[in-house]
Amino acid sequence: MIGSRTVIKLSDGRELIYFDEDPVADRTDRQDTRDLPPPPPTSQLRYDPLVDEWVAVAAHRQTRTFLPPTDKCPLCPSTADFASEIPAPDYDVVVFENQFPSFSDRVVADETTALTDEVPVRPGVGRCEVVCFTSDHHSSFGALSPERVRTVLDALADRTAQMSALPGVAQVFPFENRGVEIGVTLSHPHGQIYAYPMVPPRTTAMLTASRRHADRTGGRNLYADVLAAERRAGTRIVATNEHWTAYVPAASRWPYEVQLAPHRHVPDIPALTAPERDAFAPLYLDVLRRFDALFDTPLPYIAAWHQAVTGEGRDLGYLHLQLFSVRRAADKLKYLAGSESAMGAFVNDVEPERAAQILREK
């Protein structure tokens, strides 16, 4: 739980926020001593008319930090020998603007231009932030205390509320990538938050399905009905408590995939009550432990918070966390090859009911 919240500016003008569990923590005595260039320009959004989707082109991200040595990690606290992104010598949870953002609110949305008659282009207005879960470089989210998980959740609630209010933001997406198999380039325990200027393809598909279900059922929420059905069936439930259920979706795309959902229909993290936030931590930590026990090694995963959009269709959203791994066996990865990458048609290697059973037994 957040005790104090301190905002500072880094040397290039980016915002950094300390979320401390100590209510009297003082973070104003350490300033960024680096001489940094100004933040890069934002990305372009280019429209693909063949699939009705926007693609971000962010060429400046080619130069982002890639697997630095531990003593040069930009997410560790600063030391006398190395000035990192975090000026303080220690911290609880820190959020700051990404130095290499895919989307940025440092530009004014210009009028749309075009590459061809069919491909409009517009600035990638939005925001990208980095969330550091702990100052311990060698830790992991699964090793956090329930109290620290609550602090992280409160920080995500704070940032979701702030970023949702930015002009042009359509959806706020917090996530964590873990493991080099996923493509992680910084091993320090951290996540990110994207404030999208468009509704992403998966959310678009979910909204379409939700509207169709609501029209067919007199206004019922699709995710609420799916969750209720899974809880009644019980076959794919991995773990549950008073406020949350963790289950393997019946049509999982990934070998090991779990969704964690609150029992109450809420649109986003800020809408969670204090008891719901407290109850999330032990359940999620339990599921992460089960993931790591699958093959007796740290499992690479993506943890993705699905939140309601900020505009039309917000009432159709239902907050949930999607957790999945690309590992399908101790020595095998799930590669997104021809069918998945070219056609978006997934073929799962593990029966969801079997995956749920294995996870329950861990």
Q: Is 76 annotated as a binding residue?
A: yes
Same fold for the pair 4-198 and 202-361: yes
Per-residue pLDDT tens over the stretch 227-251: 999 999 999 999 999 999 999 999 9
Ordered by start, the domain boundaries in the chain are 4-198, 202-361
Per-residue pLDDT tens over the stretch 95-140: 999 999 999 998 866 777 899 999 999 999 999 999 999 999 999 9
Q: Is 132 annotated as a binding residue?
A: no
Q: Which CATH superfamily is domain 4-198 in?
A: HIT-like (3.30.428.10)
Which architecture does CATH list for 202-361? 2-Layer Sandwich (3.30)
Catalytic site residue from 60, 190, 265, 320: 190
190 is catalytic: yes
Q: Residue 66 has what pLDDT?
A: 66
Q: Is 128 annotated as a binding residue?
A: no
Q: Which residues of the chain have pLDDT under 50?
A: none
pTM, two decimals, is 0.96
Q: Is 320 annotated as a binding residue?
A: no
SS (H, E, C) the chain: CCCEEEEEECCCCCEEEEEECCCCCCCCCCCCCCCCCCCCCCCEEEEECCCCEEEEECHHHHHCCCCCCHHHCCCCECCCCCCCCECCCCCCEEEEECCCCCCECCCCCCCCEEEECCEEEEECECEEEEEECCCCCCCCHHHCCHHHHHHHHHHHHHHHHHHHCCCCCCEEEEEEEECCCCCCCCCCCEEEEEEECCCCHHHHHHHHHHHHHHHHHCCCCHHHHHHHHHHHHCCCEEEECCCEEEECCCCCCCCEEEEEEECCCCCCHHHCCHHHHHHHHHHHHHHHHHHHHCCCCCCCEEEEEECCCCCCCHHHCCCEEEEEECEEECCEECCCCHHHHHHCCCCCCCCHHHHHHHHHHC
